[in-house]
Amino acid sequence: MTDDAASAVLDTARLARTAAADLAPLPRSAKDAALLAMADALEARTAEILDANAVDVADGRAEGLSEAMVDRLSLTAARVSDMADGLRQVATLPDPVGEVIRGYTLPNGLEVRQVRVPLGVIGIIYEARPNVTVDAAGLCVKSGNAVLLRGSSSARHSNEALAAILDEAATGAGLPPHTIQLVPGHTRESVKHLMTARGLVDVLIPRGGAGLIETVVRESTVPVIETGVGNCHVYVDAAHPSVEQITEIVLNSKVQRPSVCNAAETLLVHADAAEAVLPVVLLALKEAGVTVHADQRAAEIASVNGVTSIPVTDDDWGSEYLSLDLAVGVVDSLDDAIAHIRRWSTGHTEAILTESQQAAKTFVSHVDSAAVMVNASTRFTDGGQFGFGAEIGISTQKLHARGPMGLPELTSTKFVVTGEGHVRG
């Protein structure tokens, strides 16, 4: 990347910084009006968006993109309408900016308030799906942040059209110019310049596969909120619920949508429950097209019941398959299950299926993940399912934001202290 191109990235970030300063004090009414204008603009210019998307789809097929990836890339009139409806829904959500987190009066009469404020300039680095362009822009606008969008080159034309339409509509509705911008450049070098724009960009949020997230975390000098990688576990306790309920939860966790980060990748079953639970569950997984990667005890139970399996390896225990594959093991105790999860988990979501309140309490207190489910599918780790209305991603780190990140997680806080001529003695 040339020096001129590098300067273009930094100049874009400077424009975003100016926009963020002007956007932060705007009231909810102004932001909601912009979101509604953005939604209307998407629907009014659907043909333009679909034409741009058709170029990306054609290029993707020519380059050998899999049909699954082509589907993730493709837009239709219905999908554009869904994106517009998503913006309208964000407009209905409470505005986190200005919320008082805590407030009190000191003995000396000073009034202290901690209030939510926008983060400032948020950079989003993401792959494939152009709907992320709209989702991220909407959430950042609602939370009072300027946004720098860096999608994958495979969605280049789609993202350019979407970002231009969104920013034009937002500006026309009264938001500062350059509130919504694409990062210029289409090579990895442009991403590197964004990652090192410390002082201009306040935080980066990567959305994509493990490789993308690891690269951003490792190479960025801008603070990063790590998202998404999900090696999620389901543990069936000795004091387990009905086999029917277990089967339903395991299938939902694994099969409903296997390519997402909150899908289960490992099933652990207590030895005292294995003979009752595994024959039914493994047969159901087989019928659903799941390939089982089993340890010795699970494999023996599987073979007796006519289910073939692949010997499990350490790579399997550590894998986020994102496919119809599942690692299955038998453990001798709750403590062994917890130890296994501690070793292999990515800190996303783990579930325990049990009728023992003590076992549930132990599991919840000893498993250190962003979300822990008790007798529920791992698939519930989602901003919409948690009642947030929308999310920017699912954080697996521990600083600032953890778990599904809604609008409050796109804010920081500041202290406002009010006195009457107070001086410190």
Domain boundaries, the chain: 3-226+397-417, 232-380
Would you say residue 357 has pLDDT above 70? yes
Pairing of strands 349-353, 371-374: parallel
> What confidence tens digit (pLDDT) does each residue in 90-129 have?
999 999 999 999 999 999 999 999 999 999 999 999 986 8
pLDDT at 1: 43
Instruction: Give the number of residues written for the chain.
Output: 425
Q: How far apart are the first and last CA of the chain?
A: 56
Which CATH code, of 3.40.50.10860, 3.40.309.10, 1.10.357.10, 3.30.70.1350, is assigned to 232-380?
A: 3.40.309.10
CATH (residue range 3-226+397-417): 3.40.605.10
Hey, what amino acid is at 393? Answer: G
* Cβ contact 294:302 at 8 Å: yes
- Contacting residues for 375 by C-beta, under 8 A, at least 6 apart: 241, 245, 249, 351, 352, 353, 354, 360
> Is the separation of the CB atoms in 132 and 151 below 8 Å?
yes
Is residue 214 a contact partner of residue 195, using CB atoms and an 8 Å limit?
A: no
pTM of model > 0.75: yes
- What interhelical angle do 131-142 and 28-44 show, nearest 10? 160
Place of tokens 């004090």: 25
DSSP 8-state class, residue 109: S
Same fold? 3-226+397-417, 232-380? no
Question: At 208, is the pLDDT very low, low, confident or very high (cuts 50, 70, 90)?
Answer: confident
Sign of the alpha-carbon dihedral angle for 343, 349, 353, 359: positive
- Mean pLDDT on 31-43: 98
Token duo for residue 120: 């400032």
